[in-house]
């Protein structure tokens, strides 16, 4: 039974890995495809964020540059939008779309977008939970196997705490997907409204942003598989324990 469960788990993980690889490849392909097209406005990624900040009344956020390819991110606690080398000084349709996406996150915070607030609140929980989840699951199972003096339910409770903590990362991934989609939707509207991209350039920007969204879907699928694996494993092990008594 264990080998059968493990087989299905590995099959699911393999499917997630394949999907993740396809998603990552699509992001690079879409970006490179539209990176060859200069936007008619001539604005770079930096120019895009700078203009969108001014027109939307954002005056307390800095714009920085970070190394790497598509390593762009908004850091709310440091109040900075970091643009990657592939975006910062690039005036392609792809670069402008990515830069505007990060500005979408800035506007989510400014507008008090509910799911964005939830995701931000989950960050410390996820960082804490993912470090302790697996050790707690293992400790719980070990207590059940080797501790003759402990409370019969102690191991189960500890293991379930580990499962719940890991569930925090699943919740984070679940909330992240709509947050990213919303940021992309905001980006497209702002780009068109400010004349940074024209109507016929928007489909290319949408293609780049939609491809990026697939990577968050892949992350959600992987988190779900691991969470179910932890949960089923703990319930199965302790179910067998109860049947032996």
| Lateral strand order in the sheet of 73-75 | 62-66, 80-84, 73-75
Catalytic positions are 102
Positive or negative: CA dihedral 82, 86, 87, 88:
positive
Tell me which residue range forms the domain holding 192. 2-244
Closest CA to 56 of 194, 209, 206, 202: 194
Per-residue pLDDT of the chain (245 residues; tens, 9 = 90+): 556 666 777 888 899 889 999 999 999 999 999 999 999 999 999 999 999 999 999 999 999 999 999 999 999 999 999 999 999 999 999 999 999 999 999 999 999 999 999 999 888 766 654 555 555 555 555 555 544 445 556 667 767 777 777 788 889 889 999 999 999 999 999 999 999 999 999 999 999 999 999 999 998 998 888 888 778 777 776 665 555 45
pTM value is 0.84
How many structural domains are present in the chain? 1
């Amino acid at each position: 039974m264990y080998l059968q469960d493990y087989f299905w788990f590995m099959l699911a993980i393999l499917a997630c890995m394949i999907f993740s690889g396809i998603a990552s490849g699509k992001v690079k392909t879409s970006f490179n495809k539209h990176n060859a097209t200069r936007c008619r406005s001539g604005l770079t990624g930096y120019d895009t964020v700078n203009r969108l900040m001014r027109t939307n009344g954002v005056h307390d956020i800095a714009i920085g540059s970070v190394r790497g390819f598509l390593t762009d991110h908004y850091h709310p606690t440091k109040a900075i939008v970091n643009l990657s080398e592939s975006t910062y000084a690039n005036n392609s349709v792809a670069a402008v779309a990515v830069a505007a996406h990060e500005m979408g996150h800035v506007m989510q915070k400014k507008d008090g977008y509910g799911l964005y607030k939830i995701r931000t609140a989950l960050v410390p929980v996820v960082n804490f939970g993912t470090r302790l989840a697996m050790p707690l699951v293992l400790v719980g199972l070990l207590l059940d196997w080797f501790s003759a003096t402990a409370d019969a339910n102690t191991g189960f409770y500890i293991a379930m705490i580990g499962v719940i903590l890991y569930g925090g990362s699943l919740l984070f991934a679940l909330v992240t997907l709509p947050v990213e989609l919303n940021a992309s939707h905001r980006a497209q509207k702002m780009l068109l409204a400010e004349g940074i991209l024209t109507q016929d350039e928007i489909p290319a920007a949408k293609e780049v942003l939609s491809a990026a969204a697939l990577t968050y879907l892949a992350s959600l699928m992987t988190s779900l598989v691991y969470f179910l694996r932890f949960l089923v494993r703990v319930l199965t092990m302790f179910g067998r324990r109860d049947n032996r008594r």
